[in-house]
Every structure is written in structure tokens, then in C-alpha cells.
């Protein structure tokens, strides 16, 4: 069955430090890949997506992600985090056929130390 794994439930980094959030998926082919962010009490906001083409994708708020087919990974990175980046981050995949419903990882909660 298709699945998405975010190994880190909670990460704490200092403001200004670099960030990498991990995401691995299990799927028979290359799916569509997404990163969403959720601030407390809010809905999900799309950070970036990968459908095809260049494996390094740029998103909003200075985030980027790299698709690595050989590792079935789509890790999210940011060179220098800001206190406003504190939130929960979800990796998701969509099937290429049919409804294209999203399958989500369990999320990574990011805390920023001042």
C-alpha cells in the first residue's frame, strides 16, 4: 500500500539555523509530491510541489525540496529559519490516476528557539 513516512515527529532548531525535514514514500511509481504547512488553528497551506522535471523545486517562504527517486525521498529544506516558521509540516503524495487523493505523512512539528 502507498504510504508516506516523516521520521521526525518533533524538531527544534535555533533561529537562523538551517533546516531539513525528511519525507520518504512508498509507491510503485513516481507520485506527485507536496509539502504543506499548518499553523495552530489554521488550515493547510501549500509550500511547494513536484510533478515532474527539475528535481529541485522552490517554494514560498524560502523553502525548497529535492526529489530523489533512488531514495524515494522528498526532503524539505530552508537555509535559515525564522521564528515565524514554527508550525507543523506535512509531506503528502497523490496517486497519478483516479481521484488523486492525498496521502499524508504524520507530520513534523517544528519549534524555533530564539
Partner 1 sequence: GAGVSQSPSNKVTEKGKDVELRCDPISGHTALYWYRQSLGQGLEFLIYFQGNSAPDKSGLPSDRFSAERTGGSVSTLTIQRTQQEDSAVYLCASSNSGQETQYFGPGTRLLVL
**Interaction of residue 101 with partner 1, rule CB under 8 A:** yes
Q: DSSP assignment, residue 106? A: -
CB of 107 to partner 1, least distance (A): 7
- Within 73-92, the residues that bind partner 1 by CB under 8 A are 90, 92
Residue 6, classed as helix, strand or coil, is: coil
Nearer to partner 1, 70 or 97 (CB): 97
**C-alpha torsion sign, points 111, 71, 100, 52:** positive
**Interaction of residue 40 with partner 1, rule CB under 8 A:** no
CB of 87 to partner 1, least distance (A): 14
CB of 106 to partner 1, least distance (A): 5
| CA 107/CA 36 separation, integer angstroms | 9
| CA 25/CA 13 separation, integer angstroms | 25
Amino acid at each position: 500500500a502507498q504510504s508516506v513516512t516523516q521520521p521526525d515527529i518533533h524538531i527544534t532548531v535555533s533561529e537562523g539555523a538551517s533546516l531539513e525535514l525528511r519525507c520518504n514514500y512508498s509507491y510503485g511509481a513516481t507520485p506527485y509530491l507536496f509539502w504543506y504547512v499548518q499553523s495552530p488553528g489554521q488550515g493547510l497551506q501549500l509550500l511547494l510541489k513536484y510533478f515532474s522535471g527539475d528535481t529541485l523545486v522552490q517554494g514560498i517562504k524560502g523553502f525548497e525540496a529535492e526529489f530523489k527517486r533512488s531514495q524515494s525521498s522528498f526532503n524539505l529544506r530552508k537555509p535559515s529559519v525564522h521564528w515565524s516558521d514554527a508550525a507543523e509540516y506535512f509531506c503528502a503524495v497523490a496517486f497519478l490516476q483516479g481521484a488523486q487523493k492525498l496521502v499524508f505523512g504524520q507530520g513534523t512539528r517544528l519549534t524555533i528557539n530564539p
